[in-house]
Structure 1
Amino acid sequence: MAQWTHMSQMLQGLTDDTINNLYPPNAFPIEVRHFLAEWIERQPWDDFVLEKEESESQAQALLDQTISMLQSISQQNANVVDRMKLMQISRNMTMFQQQPLQFAVMVRDILTKERVLLGTPNQMPSPPQFQQHPNRESSFRSMQDVDHLVLKVLDVQDIRQKIHQLQEELNWERQNYEDLQGPIQQNGLAPTQSDILKLQNHLQQLEYNVKAMARKRLQLLKECVDCLDQCQTQLISRLKAWRWDQHKATIGQPFDDNLSLLQTRCEQLLGVNGKLREELMLIGEPIPELQERLKKLLQVLIQSSLVVVKHPPQVIKTQSKFSTTVRYLLGEKVAPGKPVVLKAQIINELQARNLGSGPGDNVGELINNAAVLEHNTSSKSTYATFRNMSIKKIKRADRKGSESVTEEKFALLFSTEITITGCDTPYRIQMISMPVVVIVHGSQDNNALATIIWDCAFSEPDRVPFMVPERVPWKMMYNTLNSKFTAEVKTTHNLDQYNQHFLAQKIFDKPDFAEDFSNILVSWTQFNKEVLPGRPFTFWQWFEGVMELTKKHLNNYWSEGLIFGFIGKQHLHLILKDRPNGTFLLRFSDSEIGGITIAYVSATENGGQKIQNIQPFTKRDLEIRSLGDRIRDINHITYLYPEFPKHEVFKKFYTEPQPSPGGGYIPVSLLTKVGTEDNLDTSPAPPPLAESPHSAVGFPVCADDMELDFDTILETLSH
């Protein structure tokens, strides 16, 4: 109730219009705030937003409680006027029964405006979502700034009305004064000198008051324009931050794509700009400085409200279909009548850097590159969706040195001419997409994706399109790899410190380096230009292959921590050397793209131990038989490192035996055999999959990863 105690004192200095604007008489009159002050300030109003429909039941409960308490207070009130007034208010508030969230949000906004007026916006506890997300804290502060601006505009309008009233009174008194100076009045009584002097003094006082109010009005207008400028700067910063988060989402970073709050702020600032321009016109004399500032602010706001919400694929193959969607945040303010048609064109990096200097040469031909801006009344959003778009052909720039076509970046430029209600002239608006790489063959996809990953991970906000650093610290690269890996695999299980160290050893070709790699610079060339030593592929091609294999076939194994992952041979020998025979771990292949291998401890002929690596299983292998079943098949691997019995750990991944088929056929099944397994294995065999003969597929055991001719295996199976 402390807030209401201070607020009730401040009300003495506010106009009736301002109070009615703060406490709408037909929705939430001031009597509700007064009689329920203590209870109102204890409720979690800040938790409510219109988009959060799951909180509607909580809002309904608060609405019902509000009505019930008003009825109870009215019955106990001895003052018949107050009693009747409160009963009427409680009946009026039932209009929110179909929209309880609107009621809760209205109360939230009233309390926020009170805190702004009291100058204590940060003394109330922030709602949980603002505490958890710094960007939302910024949004909350900007909301308060806009609310403060709206109140200041109301004060300007209030002063203008007072000036009008004073001017009317002044005009009336001047007329009276002129009448006193004229012929003797009809009653024959001449005015006394005292009457004339009194009227003169009153006229002077009125003139002084009008001028003083006019000065105050002008000062408030300047403050409003300053405040509008500040609020709009904050809004555009938030829009840029939203686009930046969207850009980073490509590498797996979290992204909240909700634009409702930003759209509301755009609409509010547009409305404030219009009201301030009206107030300037009503002054009756030009004020060029303020008029020009408002004009520029309006132009920037209208042009900044175009947002690409669904970007085109960042790797686009010519002659293939794709779609993209653009949203206009001021869509409800577009002047009716002529439809707004957006057009898209493809531009190169040089054109993206010189957008203001004209369209330049056409570097590509886009099919289905026009879409109409359409308003959805239910979602209150305005979109233009480009469906079945396609790049028919592309004109490439001259390449420098060893630069390949998959390193060249383009973008889609969306543009149109739009007229906003209340504005005299149309505005040319445009927005570019995130960079895209155009390819002509699927074999270029992997290298093109590398260009996009590097761009999204290491570009800076507000960069010159599409500049990126040539080198970055390894810790930035590792964070990118981890973020992309977990996002693609859809897992919360991150790469660990051992994985990180091995990846660094691999990309820098330093297998014996045991120190911290964090601040060593890794280059684009090391990432995806040079092939790895002794391999026919680059670091990214190898990493992306592992990521694809894990996403499609190993997600659950990885998420449950059953796959060790990226580990070097030296580290592998170090952790397995003292383990009992049959201990194994799962690691990603070091020698081929998209493979997982089993490393295990095996006995030697002289009674010693050695570490063996089974030929890697690839996507093709795991499509034929799952990893869990393959692990079950191999009898001489018994304990998952460090000492988990394999049948306990992997049992959930085993495939149940299939029932015998009809028609008199004998069922068959596939089993995985490793090298000379029959000679080496002394452990009990697992239960057979079927009580019938089976086909066996053998995989060699090797000290290092080897290639295997799977066509030969399939040919064997066919016989």
Structure 2
Amino acid sequence: MAQWTHMSQMLPHLTNETINNLYPPTAFPIEVRHFLAQWIEGQRWDDFALENVEQKNQAQALLDQTISMLQSIAQQTTNVVDKMKLMQFSKNMNIFQAQPLQFGVMVRDILNQERGLLDTSAQPQFQPFPNIESSFPNMQDLDCLVLKVLEVQNIRQKMHQMQEELNWERQNYESLQGAIQPNGLDPTLSESQKLQNHIQQLEYNVQAMAKKRFQLLKECVDCLDQCQTRLIGSLKAWRWGQHKATIGLPFDDNLNTLQTWCEQLLGVNGKLRQELVLLGEPMPELQERLGKLLQVLIQSSLLVDKQPPQVIKTQSKFSTTVRYLLGEKVAPGKPVLLKAQIINEIQARNLGGVPSDNVGELINNTAILEHNTSSKSTCATFRNMSIKKIKRADRKGSESVTEEKFALLFSTEITITGCDTPYRIQMISLPVVVIVHGSQDNNALATIIWDCAFSEPDRVPFLVPERVPWRMMYSTLNSKFTSEVMTEHNLDQYNQHFLAQKIFDKPDFSDDFSNILVSWAQFNKEVLPGRPFTFWQWFEGVMELTKKHLKEYWSEGLIFGFIGKQHLHLILKDRPNGTFLLRFSDSEIGGITIAYVSASENGGQKIQNIQPFTKRDLEIRCLGDRIRDISHITYLYPDFPKHDVFKKYFTEPQPSPVGGYIPVTLLTKVGTEANSDSLPATLLPGSPHSVGGFSGTDDDMDLEQILQTFST
């Protein structure tokens, strides 16, 4: 299933045409690949070929298993829509019964094409963020480094023993020299020669070991440099993943492994510096390299573990946590006090020390670095921070205050055990937008979304492109939508196409939008044609409505979602009266409407759109009950009986109140006398009669719900 796991992550970057070519909707739809992923990848498909007739029985067996498994999964699933889809897919597979080899070859080709695309995905444009594992120093790297350091220590010890032996033998040689007679006939002469030879051998061995020791020390520093470079890359990748998590990409925030590597590399650095001291002669190049590596490691080990909110309202409390990965190595004694200050974009680009110019006033902006023995983490938590005031830069042109980015800078001075001097360390947070009123929140969030989605690694703070390809924008919208709603049901190709038509204002464009550039202005500066809101304001409203009131409906695949008028009429035009689908309102922020087929006055058919239900409406009566109330709609597109699909969302009637009161029930009624394309949905207490219609021309008319409450 590993291949499908990687493939599914890549799908948002592919065009609709590529996806349809890869997974033919009528022969082998993408849903089949998804539901049977593990089984498919466990079979042998590579050997199939149309000319190998002897493989027909094998292909037939795999075809039968595919059909059987689809039927089995359909029986087990509780999702009515998925159940019906899977049963239909299993029936469609029967087209291969006459030529099962075609089925085997088709699956073979699909898997091969996937592998080819995954090979291509290794290119940078398909990487959502740097791969932490690829830059992370592996166990073999560190094991090799540790063994080299041990070898250096062993050589030093052997050299010490050898030097002591050499000193002893030299003393013996000098004693023998004094005892030799002038006539040269003394028997100690041969012993003296032997001793001299032994001394020369010892001297040679000491020199050889010294040379090997120096070479190993250099290799150790080189290896440490390589391991630390990869570790620093992993720390950057962790911060990059944390940045991308804002738009919903998966992120593992566990820092324990990285902390272990930091501590181990610090230990290796200390041992190597000790070995250089014990060397007895200055090695300025190696000493300087180890000093720089130590400084970089100490300074890079400060991370913002829990980021502050990226949209911060002045005078409001917020919290953040900074973690130091070398916390257990901090010299005991004086507590380490971290200070936070807010900096602007210019200051973020010129960080060298603590900025002297304050652009904002932070309340409760200091915290002590404290060690937690149970979690083995050392953190400073700012629990009740607040921005009292902010000084803004001069704005250019139409730039809004919600487009200005700041950051929090955390800094302190720290002393590590075994190091002679203290080190100044600092780290900045992710970009934040400072607002003064809740009405600015939506636009500020748009700035953060654009920054998180389209910034480059190691950029100049806080530069972002002005335009990006639509495929990147769609991938961002899909990730943000699914993460906010907390669903695994993605926006599909129809949703993607309609969103592109809307943001580019090209309702009649039917080609692929993938490589067309979308600008920041189109995203959240320019209002949509004929609307008082921007694309992001509209999309975010839909996202919030779905998150709070429609999550289960969306996750079950009961909401078609984003669909344009032309596509709507195309798919409903041949359906029976009463066929309906649920779509997000095109004209109202945070609304969902029901489009359905009804009879026209001349005996034909027409598509009706019921006035959108908003958050306020769904708080009064849920969507399931409203659908049950409306007798005009009977089948969810394409042909699912509404009572079968939505019965789990129907609420039970409330028991009669005590005290002799007459019970009141709120029902949704739709005007049946309207001649327009939109109908108002009205809540009336127990009324069996329909409300009169109205006339209008817009797709979704902005008519306020008539809400009546009764009391006695």
Select the residue among 352, 356, 376 that pairs with 2:352.
Answer: 356
Q: Displacement of 1:709 after TM fit?
A: 2.5
Q: Does 1:543 align with 2:539?
A: yes
Mark the runs of 5 or more structure 1 residues left unpaired by the alignment. Answer: 1-132, 681-688
Which residue does the alignment assign to 2:308?
312
Instruction: Encode CA deviations 1:290-326: one digit per residue, 9 max, x unaligned.
Output: 0000000000000000010100000000000000001
Kindly provide the amino acid, as one letter, of the partner of residue 275 in structure 2: E
Which residue does the alignment assign to 2:707?
714
Select the residue among 155, 166, 188 that pairs with 1:170.
Answer: 166
CA 1:308–1:141: 2 relative to 1, 3 Å: closer
SS at structure 1 position matched to 2:602: coil
* Counterparts of residues 315-334 of structure 1 (less than 5 Å): 315-334=311-330
Instruction: Encode CA deviations 1:609-636: one digit per residue, 9 max, x unaligned.
Output: 1101000000000000000000000001
Which residue does the alignment assign to 2:411?
415
Q: Does 1:644 align with 2:637?
A: no
Kindly provide the amino acid, as one letter, of the partner of residue 288 in structure 1: P
Q: Displacement of 1:244 after TM fit?
A: 0.4
Q: Does 1:379 align with 2:372?
A: no
CA RMSD of aligned residues (A): 2.3
Which residue does the alignment assign to 2:517?
521
Instruction: Encode CA deviations 1:176-213: one digit per residue, 9 max, x unaligned.
Output: 1121123579xxx9552211111111111111100110
Instruction: Encode CA deviations 1:372-414: one digit per residue, 9 max, x unaligned.
Output: 0000111111110000100000000000000000000000000
Out of 288-297 and 198-207, give the one that drifted further: 198-207
Kindly provide the amino acid, as one letter, of the partner of residue 215 in structure 2: Q
Q: Does 1:618 align with 2:614?
A: yes
Q: Does 1:504 align with 2:500?
A: yes
* Counterparts of residues 328-477 of structure 1 (less than 5 Å): 328-356=324-352, 358-477=354-473
Which residue does the alignment assign to 1:531?
527
SS at structure 2 position matched to 1:355: coil
Instruction: Encode CA deviations 1:340-392: one digit per residue, 9 max, x unaligned.
Output: 01000000000000001551310000000000000011111111000010000
Which residue does the alignment assign to 1:604?
600
Q: Displacement of 1:663 after TM fit?
A: 1.3
Q: Displacement of 1:697 after TM fit?
A: 9.2
Q: Does 1:286 align with 2:278?
A: no
CA 1:410–1:140: 2 relative to 1, 3 Å: closer
Q: Displacement of 1:143 after TM fit?
A: 2.2
Q: Does 1:666 align with 2:662?
A: yes
Select the residue among 208, 217, 230 that pairs with 2:226.
Answer: 230
CA 1:417–1:423: 2 relative to 1, 3 Å: same
Mark the runs of 5 or more structure 2 residues left unpaired by the alignment. Answer: 1-128, 677-682
Select the residue among 574, 579, 586 that pairs with 1:590.
Answer: 586
CA 1:608–1:409: 2 relative to 1, 3 Å: same
Query: CA–CA distance in 2 between the matches of 1:284 and 1:699?
Result: 100
Instruction: Encode CA deviations 1:30-68: one digit per residue, 9 max, x unaligned.
Output: xxxxxxxxxxxxxxxxxxxxxxxxxxxxxxxxxxxxxxx
Query: CA–CA distance in 2 between the matches of 1:477 and 1:355?
Result: 31
CA 1:373–1:503: 2 relative to 1, 3 Å: same
Residues 313, 436 of structure 1: 8 Å contact kept: yes
Q: Displacement of 1:138 after TM fit?
A: 3.2
Query: CA–CA distance in 1 between the matches of 2:674 and 2:529?
Result: 36
CA 1:142–1:666: 2 relative to 1, 3 Å: same
Which residue does the alignment assign to 1:565?
561
Query: CA–CA distance in 2 between the matches of 1:173 and 1:202?
Result: 8
Residues 670, 696 of structure 1: 8 Å contact kept: no
CA 1:432–1:543: 2 relative to 1, 3 Å: same
Q: Percent identity?
A: 85
Which residue does the alignment assign to 1:240?
236
Which residue does the alignment assign to 2:54?
none
Out of 175-184 and 493-502, give the one that drifted further: 175-184
Residues 232, 300 of structure 2: 8 Å contact kept: yes
Kindly provide the amino acid, as one letter, of the partner of residue 576 in structure 1: L
Query: CA–CA distance in 2 between the matches of 1:283 and 1:693?
Result: 95
Query: CA–CA distance in 2 between the matches of 1:524 and 1:308?
Result: 28
* Counterparts of residues 149-188 of structure 1 (less than 5 Å): 149-182=145-178
Query: CA–CA distance in 2 between the matches of 1:206 and 1:165?
Result: 11
Q: Displacement of 1:641 after TM fit?
A: 0.5
Query: CA–CA distance in 2 between the matches of 1:718 and 1:233?
Result: 72
Select the residue among 551, 558, 578 that pairs with 1:555.
Answer: 551
Which residue does the alignment assign to 1:25?
none
SS at structure 1 position matched to 2:244: helix
SS at structure 2 position matched to 1:417: strand
Query: CA–CA distance in 2 between the matches of 1:138 and 1:518?
Result: 29
Query: CA–CA distance in 2 between the matches of 1:400 and 1:696?
Result: 58
Q: Displacement of 1:717 after TM fit?
A: 5.6
Query: CA–CA distance in 2 between the matches of 1:588 and 1:679?
Result: 22
Query: CA–CA distance in 2 between the matches of 1:449 and 1:222?
Result: 50
Kindly provide the amino acid, as one letter, of the partner of residue 707 in structure 2: L
CA 1:141–1:302: 2 relative to 1, 3 Å: closer
Instruction: Encode CA deviations 1:565-588: one digit per residue, 9 max, x unaligned.
Output: 000001100111111110000000
Query: CA–CA distance in 2 between the matches of 1:359 and 1:714?
Result: 57
Which residue does the alignment assign to 1:84?
none
Q: Displacement of 1:714 after TM fit?
A: 3.3
Query: CA–CA distance in 2 between the matches of 1:700 and 1:630?
Result: 18
CA 1:664–1:287: 2 relative to 1, 3 Å: same
Select the residue among 114, 138, 144 that pairs with 1:142.
Answer: 138
CA 1:379–1:457: 2 relative to 1, 3 Å: same
Residues 615, 700 of structure 1: 8 Å contact kept: no
Relative to the length of structure 1, the TM-score reads 0.77
Query: CA–CA distance in 1 between the matches of 2:661 and 2:674?
Result: 28
Which residue does the alignment assign to 2:19?
none
CA 1:679–1:418: 2 relative to 1, 3 Å: closer
Query: CA–CA distance in 2 between the matches of 1:399 and 1:700?
Result: 50
Query: CA–CA distance in 2 between the matches of 1:697 and 1:437?
Result: 49
Residues 500, 513 of structure 2: 8 Å contact kept: yes
